[in-house]
């Protein structure tokens, strides 16, 4: 699995990791959870050692499942990200939520801890102070945010005193390209990693328009790949972009991992840019 450097750190992180959004706490039997565990294990064996989760996913169930799997592996070989749900309004409750996530994961520290969404009821400055405290206490190695606009990200970065944000996790895919065109250049210039979630949309590219489907099928045939693999390869062809597709079935895990080895040409990448974009193709 190809790895890239995480921002200005010396940390190497897989360019394709594993997402866990969708793991449910309700109305599921043991077979369902065992299948998730098998898929996560398969992904780790294929080099997708970055696992992303959140306290919000399955109301903690996703963290529990991840925790059960990762204890089977060397902690130093894994990179675990979790996210703080923005319903916590005070420093005390935010820190308590982080500690509960660590307990569910059965870890002493996160590799990366994010604010899941900006909260209009809590100042960005207060949230950043909590994240900074968690770094200083050894509860997380690195910090970042998720679903923050570029302006919010800048304000968050300016609120920190001793550490830096190294990541913004954003919805980004071949359909939802706005981030790519509006703010990717800023993150690239400042050595900040964008983690693209929902790299295949919420329906696995099953609801895309005919033009896009035709182009994806054309390029997929050329590379002996699936359209989903091409969509993932397109994302990670951009500097400072990694992604965390989720997969319930092991065959999809394998396909996701294999997408890292697909090398698209500049013209193939450019083919998928939205026609109304002013994006300048010089950041690949």
Say whether 2 sits in a helix, a strand or coil.
coil
> Is residue 165 within 8 Å of 7, Cβ to Cβ?
no
Give 163: exposed, middle or buried? Use CB within 10 Å, 0-12, 13-18, 19+.
middle
- Tell me which of 33, 57, 113, 142 is the catalytic residue: 57
Phi (first) and psi of residue 255, to 5 degrees = -60, -40
What CA–CA distances, in Å, run from 60 to 71, 120, 134, 143?
17, 23, 20, 20
Determine the straight-line distance between the first and last CA of the chain, rounded to whole angstroms.
19
Q: Look at residues 193, 178, 181 and name the one whose alpha carbon lies nearest to residue 239.
A: 193
- The pairing of strands 50-52 and 241-243 is unpaired
Cα 155 vs. chain centroid, distance in angstroms? 21
Say whether 264 sits in a helix, a strand or coil.
coil
Q: Look at residues 134, 137, 96 and name the one whose alpha carbon lies nearest to residue 112.
A: 134
> Is residue 194 within 8 Å of 187, Cβ to Cβ?
yes
In DSSP terms, 169 is beta-bridged to 146, 195
In DSSP terms, 110 is beta-bridged to 140
197 is catalytic: no
Contact residues for 234 (Cβ-Cβ < 8 A; gap 6+):
174, 264, 269, 272
Task: Kindly list the catalytic residues.
Answer: 57
């Amino acid at each position: 699995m190809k790895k890239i450097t995480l921002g200005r750190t010396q940390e190497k992180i897989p360019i394709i990791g594993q997402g866990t959004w969708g793991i449910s706490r309700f109305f599921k039997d043991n077979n369902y959870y065992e299948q998730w565990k098998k898929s996560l294990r398969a992904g780790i064996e294929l080099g997708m050692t970055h696992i992303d989760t959140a306290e919000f996913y399955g109301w903690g169930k996703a963290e529990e499942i991840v925790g059960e799997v990762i204890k089977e592996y060397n902690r130093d070989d894994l990179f675990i990200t979790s996210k703080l749900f923005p319903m916590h309004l005070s420093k005390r409750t935010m820190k308590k939520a982080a500690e509960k996530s660590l307990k569910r994961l059965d870890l002493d520290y996160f590799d990366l801890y994010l604010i899941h969404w900006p909260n209009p009821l809590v100042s960005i400055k207060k949230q950043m102070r909590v994240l900074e405290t968690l770094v200083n206490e050894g509860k997380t190695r690195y910090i970042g945010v998720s679903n923050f606009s570029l302006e919010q990200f800048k304000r968050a970065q300016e609120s920190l005193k001793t550490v830096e944000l190294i990541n913004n996790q954003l919805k980004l895919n071949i359909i939802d390209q706005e981030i790519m065109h509006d703010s990717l250049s800023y993150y690239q210039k400042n050595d900040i990693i964008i983690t693209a979630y929902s790299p295949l949309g919420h329906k696995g590219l099953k609801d895309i328009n005919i033009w896009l489907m035709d182009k994806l099928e054309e390029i997929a045939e050329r590379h002996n790949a699936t359209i989903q693999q091409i969509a993932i390869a397109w994302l990670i062809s951009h500097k400072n972009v990694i992604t965390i597709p989720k997969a319930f079935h092991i065959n999809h895990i394998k396909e996701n991992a294999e997408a890292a080895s697909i090398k698209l040409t500049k013209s193939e990448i450019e083919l998928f840019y939205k026609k109304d974009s002013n994006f300048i193709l010089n950041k690949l």
